[in-house]
Amino acid sequence: MAQVAVITGAGSGIGRAVAVELGKAGFAVALAGRREDKLQETAALVGGDTLVVPADVAKADDVQALFERVHATHGRLDLLFNNAGMNRPGDVGELSLEDWQRVLDVNLTGSFLCAQAAFRLMRDQDPQGGRIINNGSISATSPRPASPAYTATKHAITGLTKSISLDGRRFGIACGQIDIGNAATDMGGRMAQGVPQANGTVAAEPVFDVQHVAEAVRYMASLPLDTNVQFMTIMATSMPFIGRG
C-alpha cells in the first residue's frame, strides 16, 4: 500500500514541486490549498492517486474537513508537509493589525491546526505513527527588513516543530523543519529582481532551483520513523545570510 501524504499550499511553488516529487516516490498525495484550479493543475502534474481538497488552513472547519476526507479515502496518514504560508510586508511602525492577524492566522494557526489534525490521525491509526515536516524559512533564523509578521510566525514555527517532536515521541510521530532561502518560485524568485537589504539598499540576490527543495523533502520523508532530520537549511549558496552577507 502506498504511503499517504498531505501537502498544504500545494497549488504552486514549493508545494507543487514537493507534490510532484512525492508522487514520483510512490506516495498517494492529497493536495490542499485555497484555489481549486491551481490544485487541479498540480494534480495533473502529479498524476496517479491524487486527491484535491480546497481548504483555507486558517479555518478550523476546512482543516477538519480536509483530514476527514483523507482518512475516509485512504484510512491513514503517513506524512504532512505543512507548507501553506503568506507574507504582508510592512515595518513595525506601519503594518496594520489586519495584515498582522492574517499572516498569523495562515502561517502559525494554520500550521498548528493541520499539525494537530495530522497528529491525531497518526496517533490513533494502526500501525501508529507518521511524520510532520514544517516549512520554516531563513526568516526562522534571521529576519528581513519590514517583515515583523512573517518573521514572528517563522520563529514560532521552530517552537511548534520542537513541541510536536517532543509530544510525538511516544506515538512514533517524527517532526522536522526545512528552512528555505531564495528558492526560485513566484514568491522567492523576486529576490533575483532586487529586494531591500538591512543596510537600506536594494540588491538582487541569488536564487536556486526549487527542485532541490522537493528532493530534500523527499529525503526527509523517506527516512524510517526511528530517524529524523530535525532541522535542515537549504539555500542559495551566496545569498546574504551567513555573517555580514
Answer whether residue 65 is part of any domain: yes
Residue 242 near residue 179, CB atoms below 8 Å: no
**Set 112, 119, 150, 208: catalytic member:** 150
Q: What is the mean pLDDT of the chain?
A: 95
Domain that holds residue 143: 4-235
Residue 150 a catalytic site member? yes
User: Using N-to-C axis directions, what is the helix angle for 148-168 and 110-124, rounded to 10°?
Assistant: 10
Nearest to 173 by CA among 72, 77, 84: 77
Mean pLDDT of 53-73: 98
Single-letter residue type at 53: V
- Chain center to CA of 25: 18
The 3-state DSSP class for residue 179 equals strand
Give the number of domains in the chain: 1
Mean pLDDT of 98-126: 98
The 3-state DSSP class for residue 85 equals coil
- In the structure, what pLDDT confidence band is assigned to residue 94 with cuts at 50, 70 and 90? very high
More confident residue, 73 or 199: 73
Strand 79-82 to 50-54 pairing: unpaired
Answer whether residue 128 is part of any domain: yes
Between 82-91, 117-126, 160-169, 196-205, the lowest mean confidence (pLDDT) is in 196-205
- Spatial neighbors of 154 by CB under 8 A, at least 6 apart, are 107, 136, 137, 139, 140
What is the percent of the chain with per-residue pLDDT over 70, rounded to a whole number?
98
Beta bridge partners of 4: 28
Between 25-29, 99-103, 239-243, the lowest mean confidence (pLDDT) is in 239-243
Answer whether residue 217 is part of any domain: yes
Answer whether residue 142 is part of any domain: yes
Buried (b) or exposed (e) across 49-72, using 16+ Cβ within 10 A?
Answer: ebbbbbbbbbbeebbeebbebbbe
The model carries a pTM of 0.96
The CATH number of the domain where 173 resides is what? 3.40.50.720
- The cell numbers describing 220, all together, are 526527509
Q: Summarize pLDDT for 163-212 with one digit per residue, the tens.
A: 999 999 999 999 999 999 999 987 766 888 888 888 889 999 899 999 99
